[in-house]
Amino acid sequence: MKYEEAIEWIHSREKFKVKPGLKRMTWMMERLNHPEQTLNAVHIAGTNGKGSTVSFLRHILQEQKFTVGTFTSPYIERFNERISVNGTPIPDHSLAFLVEIIKPLAEELAQTPLGEPTEFEIITAMAMLHFSELQLDYVLIETGLGGKYDSTNILAPLVSVITNIGHDHMNILGNTVEEIAEEKAGIIKPEVPIITAVKQTEALEVIAHRAKECESALYCLGEAFHVEHLKSTEIGESFIFSNQNYTSPELLSRMKGQHQVENVALAIQTAEQLRAIGANVRREKYIDGIRRTFWPARFEKVRNNPLTIIDGAHNEEGTQALVNTLKRHYDGRNIILVYAALEDKPVSKMINLLSEVIKTAYMTTFDFPRALSAKELADYSSITVTKVVEDEQEAIKQASLNVGKDDVLLITGSLYFISKIRKFFESEELLW
């Protein structure tokens, strides 16, 4: 099978099932001789910060000379990024080979009462099989959506992590923080430690209750481990991490924002937990691992003249974190916005948050099924000067020409939009 055929087949699968569950994944894992049971896995759920936390932890572990697989979503540039080893996406031929193995199983499963597997279930099965065959030291697995019924929840991990709880995918996960927390807490397994940076009291109570039921040790940021944010600079964030057994020297993260300081604290505490159960984790390696960490489209500078930042702030909590980071790093500077978003997001609330730091916005759209038009976005806008430019490249061009010497151009909204725009900058298709 050719790579293009494999990708086309994957994307032609169903996106969601009316009745979610793990039975289809269990069926496939049994037929594949349970590759998921061979993995030394860390399982990561949360509304925001999963990708950044995975990246911090991957770099920390790679600095120890471990081989590390990562399963993440969505991708930024190429689909293959979702299944990576030591940061290198799966080769085209390997992905096609995995589809040749999984496709007959999917077709057989479709003939049973369980029905055919979804796209995400197929990708998850591919990742489990791929990582198992490579016999990696560790694999870091992100949930796709929620936790309890997520296809990744067939794992028996060494450690589980819940980054935070926010208001996203409420049409699927629930209408309250407690309901969403219940879904995320579904990844907690019996006697498997759980590490979290969740802040809301009502969400923490749900997580603590589940941890107690499972007799799982619970480590909360601000209680079992701590992070002191020292300062923000042009380079990034300086901080000190501490827990009962260890206090770090001053550490530097190039990932900007207070939320990234919390994400790196989760990663360090997870490394500490792996160390406690026998991994040869040397703490002096944290410094270089953290300093080297990068995750695309997270407050990423893509151009110096004019200074251009892209950020995949695609929900309310992510937008608030972006606004806080802008205030911390670019307070007092004129920020011009280019924005595109999807119809199932709280767009009015997100734009209202952005209006705290932005006075001029270019609303645009892009080729995606649920993308709002530029005019629809403008109707939601509370930003003083809001312009409508339907073509995304033209919007960036117009905004760029109006960015002054000391101004900042911010491009944000849907992560799918940011993925597309990032390719423009990398290929130098934007010629102004």
Place of tokens 């930024």: 76
Cβ partners under 8 Å of residue 111, min gap 6 = none
pLDDT of 429 reads 59
Instruction: Read off the pTM.
Output: 0.93
- Could you tell me whether strands 138-142 and 159-162 are parallel, antiparallel, or unpaired per DSSP bridges? unpaired
Q: What is the dihedral of CA 252, 256, 258, 261, to 10 degrees?
A: -40
pLDDT of 169 reads 44
pLDDT of 121 reads 96
Listed as ranges, residues in the chain with pLDDT below 70 are 17-19, 167-174, 428-432
pLDDT of 17 reads 67
pLDDT tens column, 266-320: 999 999 999 999 999 999 999 999 999 998 999 999 999 999 999 999 899 999 9
pLDDT of 170 reads 47
Phi, psi of 207 (to 5 degrees): -65, -45
Closest listed residue to residue 184, CA positions, set 142, 136, 121: 142
pLDDT of 171 reads 46
